[in-house]
């Protein structure tokens, strides 16, 4: 007799971003010099005043279970911030605090989708969306978007993907993995279809503070009246405040009943998000914001550097990086060649050979539904990026 894994979990793809990062760490531990451009994780330390708030929370005895859906002070801070930044009004009860935005997304899908429902996901997509949809028994409907349009979904493509089973649309702007950003007008075009068809929109706005254009960020529910009732917003502290390890994210529900459902689910799943991290997140949101701007400016410097290096390597192309910290590079012109004696026919092999031969860790585009592409994260120092870009250039130049 052996213990076997359920069919649902057997069908689950493990996260490729986490897997590539683990591979890079393994090689590093074995003594190799590795330039790790795989994971989308700020390399900065969590700002000191946030750490101090966590220490104080522990000293004050905030070391016990909290309300399952999170502490009211943090929910209030979240809605206040969305109001100040985007003019949106939500009651604090509509917020559910979770163990990171990834967990928030899982809760949203679990409370929204029934088996057989369809969720429209534009590709390239972040690795977890489709897998978390499948865990509910619903069906991810992938809609490919062209590089010529910055890998963005158009209203026409959205309309064409809608069937009687369509329940929801997933949007992620700025996008992981492409680094592109939807303008207000582009979102309005999608919103018109959404309002017409009453699709629910899950908008992942985790990179809303990492934008490098002059246009103000357009949060999806603000672009047309009536959208707030149809939209679930996901955000968190991981990227904005360099707090990936603290595991705090949230969903803002369109109504109290939906928020209650997510809180009830969480009460059975995890009891509550970490009490200490919740207090740290309050300090992050309510404290000085100059740390966010400092990190954004540094990401911007790295972005411009990586863009100029990639542009100088013949045969590579990528859309303009307007947000987040990713370059999503089309390498298809360099497939079907031999690298250090090894023939490379697809993006997965290309990534693995780049790692094996040159020590640069990246993530294959096929993991994001975009074969022929590769994602480089620039959430690492300029020094690492310079060495990594030298190595990529050498790798490509050496192909025969």
Q: Which of residues 72-131 bind ligand PMP (CB under 6 A)?
A: 100-102, 126
Q: Which of residues 164-193 bind ligand GLU (CB under 6 A)?
A: 176
Residue number of the CB closest to ligand GLU reads 40
Among 34, 37, 39, 50, contact with ligand GLU (rule: CB under 6 A):
39
Per DSSP bridges, beta strands 118-123 and 35-36 are unpaired
Residue 23 contacts ligand GLU per CB under 6 A: no
Residue 128 CB partners (closer than 8 Å, separation 6+): 15, 102, 105
Q: Indicate the SS3 state at residue 233.
A: strand
Minimum separation from the CB atom of position 238 to ligand PMP (A): 3
Residue count of the chain = 400
Print the binding letters for residues 210-249 with ligand PMP: x by CB under 6 A, - otherwise.
--------------------------x-x-----x----x
Pick the closer one to ligand PMP by CB: 101 or 261. Answer: 101
- The one segment of 15-23, 220-228, 315-323, 340-348 that binds ligand GLU by CB under 6 A: 15-23
Distance CA 204, CA 236 (A): 10
Distance CA 129, CA 157 (A): 19
Among 17, 66, 98, 99, contact with ligand GLU (rule: CB under 6 A):
17
Per DSSP bridges, beta strands 139-144 and 118-123 are parallel
Pick the closer one to ligand PMP by CB: 244 or 330. Answer: 244
How many CB atoms are closer than 10 A to CB 175? 29
Given ligand GLU, ligand PMP, none, residue 18, with its beta carbon under 5 to 8 Å by kind, binds ligand GLU
Eight-state DSSP code of residue 64: S
Residue 60, judged by CB atoms within 10 A of its CB (0-12, 13-18, 19+), counts as: exposed
Residue number of the CB closest to ligand PMP reads 100
The two tokens of residue 141 are 């409907």
The two tokens of residue 72 are 């009211």
Pick the closer one to ligand PMP by CB: 105 or 199. Answer: 105
CA atoms within 13 A on the CB side of 6: 4
Given ligand PMP, ligand GLU, none, residue 249, with its beta carbon under 5 to 8 Å by kind, binds ligand PMP
The two tokens of residue 326 are 């990713």
Pick the closer one to ligand GLU by CB: 21 or 389. Answer: 21
Among 53, 71, 98, 102, contact with ligand GLU (rule: CB under 6 A):
102
CA atoms within 13 A on the CB side of 41: 16
Positions that interact with ligand PMP (CB under 6 A): 40, 100-102, 126, 172, 176, 204, 206, 236, 238, 244, 249
Positions that interact with ligand GLU (CB under 6 A): 15, 17-18, 39-41, 102, 126-128, 176
């Amino acid at each position: 007799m052996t213990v076997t894994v359920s069919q649902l979990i057997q069908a689950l793809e493990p996260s490729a971003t986490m897997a590539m990062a683990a591979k890079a760490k393994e090689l590093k531990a074995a003594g190799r010099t590795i330039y790790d451009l795989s994971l989308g994780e700020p390399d900065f330390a969590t700002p000191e005043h946030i750490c101090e708030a966590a220490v104080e929370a522990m000293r004050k005895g905030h070391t016990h279970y909290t309300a399952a859906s999170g502490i009211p002070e943090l929910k209030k801070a979240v809605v206040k911030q969305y109001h100040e930044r985007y003019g949106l009004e939500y009651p604090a009860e509509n917020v559910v605090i979770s163990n990171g935005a990834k967990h928030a997304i899982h809760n949203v899908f679990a409370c929204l989708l029934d088996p057989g429902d369809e969720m429209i996901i534009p590709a390239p997509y972040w690795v977890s969306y489709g897998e978390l949809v499948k865990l509910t028994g619903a069906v991810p409907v992938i809609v490919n978007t062209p590089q010529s349009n910055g890998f963005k979904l158009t209203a026409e493509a959205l309309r064409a993907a809608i069937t009687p089973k369509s329940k929801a649309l997933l949007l992620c702007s700025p996008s992981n993995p492409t680094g592109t950003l939807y303008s207000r007008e582009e979102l309005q075009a999608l919103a018109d279809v959404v309002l017409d068809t009453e699709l629910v929109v899950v908008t992942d706005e985790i990179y809303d503070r990492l934008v490098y254009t002059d246009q103000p960020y357009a949060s999806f529910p603000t672009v047309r009246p009536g959208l707030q009732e149809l939209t679930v917003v996901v955000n968190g502290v991981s990227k904005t405040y360099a707090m990936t390890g603290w595991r705090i994210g949230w969903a803002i529900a369109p109504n109290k009943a939906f928020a209650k459902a997510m809180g009830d689910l969480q009460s059975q799943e995890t009891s509550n998000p970490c009490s200490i991290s919740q207090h740290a997140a309050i300090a992050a949101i309510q404290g000085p914001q100059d740390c966010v701007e400092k990190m954004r400016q540094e990401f911007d410097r790295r972005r411009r550097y990586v863009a100029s290096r990639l542009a100088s390597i013949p045969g590579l192309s990528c859309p303009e990086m307007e947000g987040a910290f990713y370059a999503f590079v089309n390498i298809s012109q360099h497939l079907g060649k031999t690298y250090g004696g090894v023939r490379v026919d697809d993006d997965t092999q290309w990534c693995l050979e780049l790692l094996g031969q040159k020590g640069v860790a990246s993530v294959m585009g096929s993991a994001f539904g975009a074969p022929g592409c590769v994602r480089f994260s620039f959430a690492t120092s300029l020094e690492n990026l310079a060495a990594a870009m030298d190595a990529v250039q050498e790798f490509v130049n050496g192909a025969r």
